[in-house]
Amino acid sequence: MRMANKIGIVTAAASGMGRAGAIRFAREGAAVGVVDIDPAGVEAVVAEITKAGGRVKGIVADLTKDADSKRVVTETAKQFGGLDFVWNHVGHPGPAAMEGLDMKDWDQAVDLNLRTVVITTEAALPELRARGGGSLLYTASTSGIHGSQFSPVYSAVKHGVVGLVRGLAKRYAKEKIRVNAICPGPIDTPMLRVFVARPDQQSTLGMDKEELVRSRGGQTPMGRPGKAEEVANAALFLLSDEASFITGAALPVDGGATA
Ligand SMILES: NC(=O)c1ccc[n+]([C@@H]2O[C@H](COP(=O)([O-])OP(=O)(O)OC[C@H]3O[C@@H](n4cnc5c(N)ncnc54)[C@H](O)[C@@H]3O)[C@@H](O)[C@H]2O)c1
Under DSSP, is residue 141 helix (H, G, I), strand (E, B) or coil? coil
Per-residue confidence (pLDDT) for residue 203, from 0 to 100: 57
Q: Which regions of the chain does DSSP assign to beta strands (E)?
A: 7-11, 31-36, 55-60, 85-88, 134-139, 177-184, 250-253
Beta-carbon contacts of 203 under 8 Å, excluding residues fewer than 6 positions away, are: none
Q: Say whether pLDDT at 125 is over 90.
A: yes
Find how far residue 218's CA is from the centre of its chain: 23
Q: Which of 19-33, 94-108, 207-221 shows the lowest per-residue confidence on average (mean pLDDT)?
A: 207-221
Give the residue with greater pLDDT, 75 vs 216: 75
For ligand 1, pick from 191, 216, 253 the residue to mutate: most ligand atoms within 8 Å of CB. Answer: 191
Domain ranges of the chain: 7-185+228-253
Per-residue confidence (pLDDT) for residue 201, from 0 to 100: 62
What radius of gyration do the chain's Cα atoms show? 18
* Any ligand 1 atom below 6 A from CB of 64: yes
- Within a 10 A sphere around the Cβ of 205, how many other Cβ atoms? 13
* Any ligand 1 atom below 6 A from CB of 153: no
Q: For residue 53, what is the DSSP state?
A: T
Per-residue confidence (pLDDT) for residue 208, from 0 to 100: 82
Burial 88-109 (b: 16+ CB within 10 A, else e): bbbbbbbbbbeeeeeeebbebb
> Is residue 73 within 8 Å of residue 9, measured between CB atoms?
yes
154 is catalytic: yes
Q: Say whether pLDDT at 204 is over 60.
A: no
Under DSSP, is residue 151 helix (H, G, I), strand (E, B) or coil? coil
Per-residue confidence (pLDDT) for residue 207, from 0 to 100: 81
Q: Using 50, 70 and 90 to split pLDDT, how confident is the model at 202?
A: low
Residue 29, phi-psi category: left (phi > 0), alpha (psi -120 to 50), beta (remainder) = left
CATH architecture for the domain at 7-185+228-253:
3-Layer(aba) Sandwich (3.40)
Q: What percent of the chain has pLDDT over 70?
A: 97
* Any ligand 1 atom below 6 A from CB of 14: yes
> Is residue 84 within 8 Å of residue 2, measured between CB atoms?
no
Find how far residue 35's CA is from the centre of its chain: 11
* Beta partners for residue 251, in sequence order: 182
Q: How far apart are CA 245 and CA 230, in angstroms?
A: 22
